[in-house]
Amino acid sequence: MPAPAAAPAAPPSLDSHPLAPAALSRASVLYTDLDGTLLGPGASLLASAEGAPSLTAVRAVVDLNRAGLTCVICSGRNRWQLLEVARLLGWDSYIAEVGCVIVPGRGEAPLYFTGDWNKDALREGETPYEAITRAGALELLRRAFPGRIEEHAPWHLNREATHVLRGNVPLAEAQSALDTLELPVRIVDNGVINPPVHTLRGVAEVHAYHLIPQGVHKSDAISRDLARRGLEPADALAIGDSATDVEMADAVGLGVLVANALDDARVLEAASTRANIAATRARRGEGWAELADAWLAARSELA
């Protein structure tokens, strides 16, 4: 039997990454994922990585806000959810639905991106979310994997561009099935979740999935947002916990992974092909605070 392929090595730690000092001292904007990154279990900002009450992440947010540094949420959540989170955190703009919806500032009209879709992919008045439904993507997956995939209620509501599902399906097979549709749709695994209720059958480990217009990546949305601000990639940092978050590094000076991201072999695989990825030593919100502290320290050395 052939030996299993060795997992790629973890990226260097933030405190020893050769690119970190210059990247941290130059950056003025941080693009941040929420779930599994800034937030603890149960999506709480007030919890440690282990779920104990903690102010560490909040303290870090306050420190960055006090320093006048810009944080932009970049998440799979819809823009109505992000509006409320941004208000709570004292932030202004956000990128929703895995890079498909940019809200440049609170109260401003959203900008939509549909990647590789043809100009006529959408019918008049139709959202990308509705087009994915019309193309039959959900029906197709339900038929191909009965009982193993369903909408991630209640988070599937009020979406405009992407669908969020939960279950456990072989990703390559699911993508092959979607490739038979006329509309190009990509399925992305957003990692393990623990939904309090679901109607899946025989699924021990539940994953969240997104159905996204083919060709849209969080990194493209970040590039567009930076261009809108008149900034260069080197003016920005990104932090996340999933393989899709690793792609954010392509649009910024330094991409950072919270330590819990390294539990996922797909994250290690994606990170191994990029030189500008560092990992924090702490998990979730405590890792986020580790980046915030390093960022502030690097900028104060500059002053």
Residues of the shown chain interacting with Mg ion in the complex, contacts defined by CB under 5 A: 33, 35-36, 241-242
User: For Mg ion, which is the closer residue by CB, 183 or 256?
Assistant: 256
User: For Mg ion, which is the closer residue by CB, 33 or 184?
Assistant: 33
Judge contact between 293 and 275, C-beta under 8 A.
no
CB of 51 to Mg ion, least distance (A): 16
Pairing of strands 206-213, 163-167: antiparallel
Reply yes or no: is the peptide bond before residue 2 cis, omega within 30 of 0: no
User: For Mg ion, which is the closer residue by CB, 143 or 274?
Assistant: 274
Please choose, from the candidates 286, 228, 226, the residue with its C-alpha nearest in 3D space to the C-alpha of residue 250. Answer: 226
CB of 176 to Mg ion, least distance (A): 26
User: For Mg ion, which is the closer residue by CB, 167 or 191?
Assistant: 191
CB of 41 to Mg ion, least distance (A): 13
CB of 244 to Mg ion, least distance (A): 8
What six digits make up the tokens of 192? 């393990």
Judge contact between 162 and 156, C-beta under 8 A.
no
CB of 39 to Mg ion, least distance (A): 8
CB of 99 to Mg ion, least distance (A): 13
User: For Mg ion, which is the closer residue by CB, 241 or 264?
Assistant: 241
Q: Which residue is nearest to Mg ion (CB)?
A: 36
Looking at residue 110, its amino acid is: P
Location of structure tokens 């540094």: 69
CA distance linking residue 208 with residue 194, whole number of Å: 9
Please choose, from the candidates 28, 65, 60, the residue with its C-alpha nearest in 3D space to the C-alpha of residue 253. Answer: 28
The three-state DSSP-derived secondary structure of 99-152 is HCEEECCCCCCCEECCCCCCHHHCCCCCCHHHHHHHCCHHHHHHHHCCCCEEEC
User: For Mg ion, which is the closer residue by CB, 241 or 247?
Assistant: 241
CA distance linking residue 73 with residue 90, whole number of Å: 11
